[in-house]
Structure 1
Amino acid sequence: MSDSTLEEPGTTAPADLRTDRRRVVFATVVGTTVEWYDFFIYAQAAGLVFASLFFAPAGPAVATLLSFLTVGISFLFRPLGALLAGHFGDKYGRRVVLVLTLVLMGVATTLVGLLPTYAAIGVTAPVLLILLRVLQGVSAGGEWGGAALMAVEHAPTDRRGLFGASPQIGVPIGLLLASGTMTLMAIVAPGDAFLEWGWRVPFLLSFVLILVGHYVRRRVEESPVFLEVADRKVRTRTPVVALFRRHAPLVIIAALVFAGNNAVGYMTTGGYIQNYASDPAGPLALERSSVLLAVTGSAVFWLASTWTAGWVSDRLGRRRTYVLGWLLQLAGVFALFPLVDTGQIELLFAGISILAIGLGFTYGQQSAYYAELFPASIRFSGVSISYALGAILGGAFAPTIATALVQSTHTTWSVALYLAGMTVIGLAATLLLRDRTGIPLGPDHEAEQAVSPVYGLSKR
């Protein structure tokens, strides 16, 4: 199914094509939800229990930093996952990579739920925890690019943003499930029971979710763009080498776009707000279950704004939608801590929900935006590596940086300024790129796709 065979705007696709597209959308939502449920469960636990269970001998303050560092360490291995997934995804297809990354993530997450603590096996416990987090990082590095391309490359030209929002909304749904499950366990097993066994249950549930996700993804047809690339035998022997030889500046700028969103998003998805607001020794000391419930509720706003941003980008264009999103996100950054620091759970919920709206508008269109930036033959490598590098520059150590800033300055305004700076970086990177909304994605248009969208560059 090439670009030329997609129906024109306003026409109706054949019934079997519509069915296939619905299956793709469902599969990308379900698979991405499961992947990010697993990833966020770890971040939630890092903010709530890992400091005392795996790093207690380091002392409370250092243990918290070490716990958040394990969240960030996994990001350093995302590029490895992106390199592997990009290489094999561009050579052998999107679907096989999606199935493998889903299984790897699920196995690693389930094993975290079975880990003995430091009190049981000593230093071996945090070492094993870190190794399993590394496996999660490798999986996450390869997951998103494949899901994004499956959704966008199956989409009609005028609805790429909407279709591409399907893997994007899997992220807030994953956060909603992760926070919701942790909230439930905090209620069912309060206090010491949560530390002893309650936190483990969400990790063990991953095994069931992974079976569902695996079944759904195996039923999806391969990306039509990849099938065209394979039929024309235009696959690149070493896609990663070709990517950096021809498009290195584009990769860096695209990574900075995502970094601006990711650093801010990891205030909740990385567990920072949960730890800051519920720490018994902290300035707020709010009830853990209430904070988790507020984060769960805010994920609904993130989901809605993410889906809306994908739809809006098909009408306004990706670039304009991003600019709107950066302005909304900046407003959310400056509203966040004044509301959180009131110590009132209702205002904390309002703060993270306002932020979630801006986050959605700098995330929902990303699948279509990234897919339209790179040529077909190296697209999987381009989107995966840009995404992985953006995650390192953005969210990898955002909770650790925020913790260190508050410890050194004794004010959350330092964190707000850091997040505002990252937002401005994302805006600046967006303005460096031309809008390519609607560009043909098939291999017949490789020459057009290879013209750099970076202002000032036009080499092929």
Structure 2
Amino acid sequence: MSSTTHSSPSQGAPALRRVSIRETRLATGIAFLAWTIAVYDFILFGTLLPRIEESFGWTTSHALLVSTLVSVGTAFVVLGVGPLVDKIGRRRGMIVSVAGTAASSAATAATVGAGSLIGVRSISGLGLAEQSVNATYLNELYAVTEDEKIKRNRGFVYSMVQTGWPLGALLAAAFVAVVTSVWGADAWRLAFLLATVPAIIVAIVCRKIRESPQFEAQQEVARLRKEGRTAEAATLADATGTATETVAPLRRIFDKKHLRNTVVLSLAWILNWFAIQTFSVLGTTVLEKGKGIDASSVLLLVIVSNLVGALGYLAHGWAGDRFGRRNTISVGWIISGLFFTAMLLGPSDQLYVVLTYMMGLFFLLGPYAAILFFQAECFDTDCRATGSAFIGAMSQPGAIIGGFILTALTAASVSYSTSALLVGAIGVIVSGFVVLGARTVAPEPDELVVAEDVA
């Protein structure tokens, strides 16, 4: 079957409904909450890993191996989310991803060893995939919104949603600090159990959002074709920029039109997640083992650094709207690698470490506000969630490869500081150069005809 094609919309034909200002802002707020909670659970594991290590009596190398194997399971879960969302819709996809976060937290509290921990933490892949789901959903909503301010500054607005990563990490660190101070270091099970509450609440709130007009149109085209009304289906597809011919979404992202972006962006994510795994997910470990910072001070450093990281999202979202998302991503990641290199090679003075670590996170995390929106623009509607989720899933091979290298280096008695430099700092710099090979291919939103909301 041939690949999807797009035509110029026919004047006077049925078209995409407009998304009201209220619907746009409600969806944006809920997407922010969903991503914050998903990150909260994901980072909670990395933040508590030193405590879990102590509880089970593991060595640092064994704890890193467990973390790496968790990433393997997570990757398989994330890979399945994209095709699912292209089939069931963006709204249901958000509900499933946040519900998966709740299940992951609850199950983690009941683990009894490495095997069970690896198994249940793999469920966290549903939460991790939430970023590609909301990037796809909001990209489509912003394209046809009546809110002109958001439409003009969609990258900056989306960056507000993406601040959920550093804020989720901040909440995780703060929560761990409170729980361990009250109940002691062995209270990590209680921390995960309590984390299920906000996830369940947000999953319920996600039911309030409405499906995107593009997915609604795609479903209507499919229904008309199934009923044999091919002429009507073709007219609607033409008017809404929906595919006139389709193949499986996973095949679509490897066709000639999309192959370059799939390969380039996947490689960029793999390399960049060497740094995410090293400096964000295992941030407490790199500060304790790599720079010799006292455990009592580490959580405070992580909290302060992630506050600065949140500002990084806003800065890169704003810059992406004005200077181009691809160039903003590249420059940010290269600068990040330089700051982390300075941190690891410099003195262990607490002020110096916190300043360089903060700036490293600022330029490491911030570009994700641009890349998630950028990669949604690199795929057509019928495979957008699959493409975005597939590329996002490459974070886990990055975490796996980076984790195995970290484990091997530390097991070979290489200092954690040197290991983090070789894996994390170099990885993020190289990813900054790789991303320059990507380009947008999806039609501009203004090419689509929109109609009054008649729902």
Offset, 1:399: 4.6
Q: Which residue of 2 aligns with 1:173?
A: 167
1:74 counterpart (52, 70, 73) = 70
Aligned length: 404
Q: 1:334·1:416 contact (CA, 8 Å) conserved in 2?
A: yes
Equivalent residue letter for 2:197: V
Equivalent position SS for 1:114: coil
User: Is 1:222 aligned to residue 225 of structure 2?
Assistant: no
Q: 2:286·2:417 contact (CA, 8 Å) conserved in 1?
A: no
Offset, 1:142: 3.4
2:38 counterpart (3, 12, 35) = 35
Offset, 1:345: 3.0
Q: Which residue of 1 aligns with 2:268?
A: 257
CA distance in 1, matches of 2:220, 2:446: 12
Offset, 1:320: 1.9
Q: Which residue of 2 aligns with 1:187?
A: 181
CA distance in 1, matches of 2:249, 2:285: 41
CA distance in 2, matches of 1:397, 1:364: 24
1:316 counterpart (323, 330, 334) = 323
Q: Which residue of 1 aligns with 2:343?
A: 336
Q: 2:159·2:369 contact (CA, 8 Å) conserved in 1?
A: yes
Equivalent residue letter for 2:153: R
Q: Which residue of 1 aligns with 2:48?
A: 45
Equivalent position SS for 1:408: coil
Q: 1:268·1:295 contact (CA, 8 Å) conserved in 2?
A: no
User: Is 1:381 aligned to residue 383 of structure 2?
Assistant: no
Offset, 1:441: 5.0
Equivalent position SS for 1:91: helix
Q: 1:394·1:422 contact (CA, 8 Å) conserved in 2?
A: no
Q: Which residue of 1 aligns with 2:84?
A: 88
CA distance in 1, matches of 2:181, 2:401: 30
When normalised by structure 2's length, the TM-score is 0.81
CA distance in 2, matches of 1:78, 1:112: 14
Equivalent residue letter for 1:241: R
When normalised by structure 1's length, the TM-score is 0.80
2:22 counterpart (9, 15, 19) = 19
User: Is 1:296 aligned to residue 296 of structure 2?
Assistant: no
Bigger RCO of structures 1 and 2 (CA < 8 A, at least 6 apart): 2
User: Is 1:398 aligned to residue 422 of structure 2?
Assistant: no
Q: 1:308·1:364 contact (CA, 8 Å) conserved in 2?
A: no
Offset, 1:302: 0.7
Q: For residues 95-115 of structure 1, give each alpha carbon's deviation from its aligned partner in whole angstroms, at most 9, with x where no partner exists.
A: 111111211221121221233
Structure 1 residues 160 and 432: CA distance shift in structure 2, 3 A? same
Structure 2, gaps ≥5 residues long: 1-7, 10-17, 144-150, 223-241, 450-455
Q: 1:82·1:381 contact (CA, 8 Å) conserved in 2?
A: no
More moved, 17-26 vs 154-163: 154-163
Equivalent residue letter for 1:211: I
Q: Which residue of 1 aligns with 2:60?
A: 64
User: Is 1:149 aligned to residue 136 of structure 2?
Assistant: yes
Q: 2:337·2:428 contact (CA, 8 Å) conserved in 1?
A: yes
Equivalent residue letter for 2:221: R
Q: 1:178·1:202 contact (CA, 8 Å) conserved in 2?
A: no
Q: Which residue of 2 aligns with 1:424?
A: 429
CA distance in 2, matches of 1:161, 1:413: 36
More moved, 226-235 vs 17-26: 226-235
CA distance in 1, matches of 2:313, 2:94: 22
CA distance in 1, matches of 2:445, 2:361: 31
**Superposed CA RMSD:** 2.7
Offset, 1:180: 1.0
Offset, 1:155: 1.5
Structure 1, gaps ≥5 residues long: 5-13, 117-124, 446-460
Structure 1 residues 88-107: aligned runs within 5 Å:
88-107=84-103
Structure 1 residues 174 and 88: CA distance shift in structure 2, 3 A? same
Structure 1 residues 405 and 325: CA distance shift in structure 2, 3 A? same
More moved, 74-83 vs 28-37: 74-83
